[in-house]
């Protein structure tokens, strides 16, 4: 019986090399996308008569790898500040509005540019807009 067990175990070791499987899994986990959820952004739209509406946005940032995600998480306050500054100016000039409706594609493009300016192009960060809500006042 012992003579049959030993060859069977050696065949299993040959069929499933542990090192190659571990290296492949490690390589795969390095390129897994991570998602960093930002706090909601609230932006007033102001004209000559005062606040006309409030825009709220929920943004998530997609990055490659856990190490990049940790770096971006540490930069969340700077990102939120940069988003608010950029969006406040463009929304108040009504360039992002078309017929009173926010143009999400244009906002996403601007947010992606702001993100790459703050965190750097090497992070591979992509902005995902989860929610955009407009409330007239």
Q: Where in the sequence is the domain holding 101, given as residue range(s)?
A: 33-136
What's 32's DSSP letter? Answer: -
Evaluate whether residue 83 is within a structural domain: yes
CATH code of the domain covering residue 106: 3.30.479.30
How confident is the prediction for the chain on average, in pLDDT? Answer: 80
21 within a domain of the structure (yes/no): no
Share of the chain above pLDDT 70, in %: 72
Q: What is the pLDDT of residues 65-79, one digit of tens each?
A: 888 999 999 999 999
Q: Provide the token pair at 109.
A: 């493009």
Predicted TM-score (pTM) of the model is 0.71
Q: φ and ψ at 83, to 5 degrees?
A: -60, -45
Q: Is residue 19 part of a domain?
A: no
Between 85 and 48, residue with greater pLDDT: 85
Q: For the chain, how are helix, strand and coil distributed in percent, rounded to 5?
A: 55, 30, 15
The dihedral of CA 20, 23, 25, 28: what is its sign?
A: negative
Q: What is the pLDDT of residues 85-129, one digit of tens each?
A: 998 877 766 656 667 778 889 899 999 999 999 999 888 899 999
**Domain annotation covers residue 46:** yes
DSSP state of 93: T
Domains of the chain: total: 1
83: pLDDT strictly greater than 90: yes
With respect to residue 6, please indicate whether it lies within any of the assigned structural domains: no
User: Residue 16: CA atoms inside 13 Å, Cβ hemisphere, count?
Assistant: 4
Residue 99 Cα distances to 62, 103, 105, 134, angstroms: 31, 10, 15, 13
């Amino acid at each position: 019986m012992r003579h049959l067990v030993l060859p069977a175990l050696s065949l299993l070791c040959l069929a499933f090399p542990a090192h190659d499987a571990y290296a492949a899994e490690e390589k795969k986990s390095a390129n897994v996308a991570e998602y960093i959820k930002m706090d909601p952004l609230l932006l007033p739209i102001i004209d000559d008569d005062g606040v006309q509406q409030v825009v709220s946005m929920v943004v998530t940032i997609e990055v490659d790898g856990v190490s990049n995600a940790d770096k971006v998480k540490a930069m969340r306050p700077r990102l939120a500040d940069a988003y608010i500054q950029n969006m406040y100016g463009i929304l108040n000039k009504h360039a992002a509005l078309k017929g009173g409706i926010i143009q999400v594609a244009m906002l996403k493009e601007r947010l992606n540019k702001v993100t790459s300016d703050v965190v750097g192009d090497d992070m591979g960060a992509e902005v995902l807009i989860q929610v955009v809500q407009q409330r007239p006042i």
